[in-house]
Amino acid sequence: MGAWFATPPGAYLLEWEQRHLDEAVADVFGFHALQLGLPQLDALRGNRMPHRWLAVDTPHRSDGLVHAKIPGQRAVALNCDFDALPFDSQSLDLVVLPHALELARDPHLTLREVERVLMPEGRVVIIGFNPTSLWGMRQQTGFARRRLGLGRGKSMFLPRERELIAYRRLRDWLRLLSFEVETGRFGCYRPPLRSDQWLSRFGWMEPAGGRWWPVFGAVYALTAVKRVRGMRLVGLVRDQRLKAHASPAVVTQQLPHHREASRWTREMIEHD
């Protein structure tokens, strides 16, 4: 997969994903962040957490460590299975999965493991190929040609010969794990072409696709928050109490003995 991202369509894809991730993780606060897979992409570059890790899957250990060029980022390369992360439960504030579900042996177990290590209100950012796009349709055509024995070699356009996970399907998986999807976005609307020259000719499709057919981008990216039932937002309750006591009402009350004293004074004046 690392070799595919060095091709013109792969570089075009990485450029869009890098821009999106820089915006998506910039305002996520905490202490511990993790990137799963795809070391060719600096997914945590825009984040300011003090502890950041890059994990590569064990079968791709050599490829991940050789091509992991992350300038200026404080990341530690970890070799582990995506469905058995070496982190305690509820210990991470942010997990980024750039095409990690397409690399994982079991996407369901990987998502469950991400839910385990995330703290309540922690965030997960997922990027994946969109099967309902021109790129996805070309991949499906390659699958059909290969099953019929009509094409080999360049018949497959995308790097992974696995079933792509649809955007709506992924949202359903996240809901089952008590995640709440915050944002979703599609990108890369140019046709599945292999040369820089032809990709540049279809540059006009980027703004047009975002406006006229937004859900047919080659990739999608979504951000979800881990929700825990029964949580109590102490900070919110404290702010509400402070607001309640910020402007107390002033009530004046005239005591009975004051009224009696005033009455006795008036009577003495009239008597004199």
Question: Minimal CA–CA distance to 36: which of 17, 55, 58?
Answer: 55
Q: Which phi-psi region, left, alpha or beta, contains residue 38 (left: φ > 0; alpha: ψ -120 to 50)?
A: left
Per-residue pLDDT, 161 = 58
Delimit the domains of the chain by residue range.
4-226
Q: In a 3-state reduction of DSSP, which class is residue 226?
A: strand
| The residue to which tokens 């060029």 are assigned | 69
Question: Minimal CA–CA distance to 129: which of 95, 164, 160, 97?
Answer: 164
Phi, psi of 244 (to 5 degrees): -70, -35
17 contacts: CB under 8 Å, gap ≥ 6: 41, 98, 127, 187, 219, 221
For residues 101 and 36, give the distance between their C-alpha atoms in angstroms, rounded to a whole number.
9
Per-residue pLDDT, 63 = 41
For residues 224 and 180, give the distance between their C-alpha atoms in angstroms, rounded to a whole number.
5
For residues 5 and 3, give the distance between their C-alpha atoms in angstroms, rounded to a whole number.
5
CATH number for the region 4-226 comes to: 3.40.50.150
pLDDT per residue over 207-217, tens digit each? 888 888 889 99
Neighbours of 202 (CB within 10 A): 14
Q: Are 227 and 30 in contact (CB under 8 A)?
A: no
Q: Order across the sheet with 75-80: list the strands.
A: 75-80, 51-57, 32-36, 92-98, 118-129, 219-226, 179-187
Query: Cα–Cα–Cα angle for 59, 60, 64, nearest 5°?
Result: 150
Neighbours of 99 (CB within 10 A): 23
**Helix intervals (H) in the chain:** 8-24, 61-66, 100-103, 107-117, 134-147, 167-176, 196-201, 205-212, 234-244, 256-271
For residues 220 and 188, give the distance between their C-alpha atoms in angstroms, rounded to a whole number.
9
Per-residue pLDDT, 62 = 40
Per-residue pLDDT, 238 = 47
Write out residues in the chain with pLDDT < 50, as ranges.
Answer: 60-74, 237-238, 241-242, 250-252, 255, 257-258, 261, 264-265, 268-269
Per-residue pLDDT, 154 = 57
Neighbours of 219 (CB within 10 A): 22
Name the amino acid, one letter, at 116: R
pLDDT per residue over 227-239, tens digit each? 987 655 555 544 5
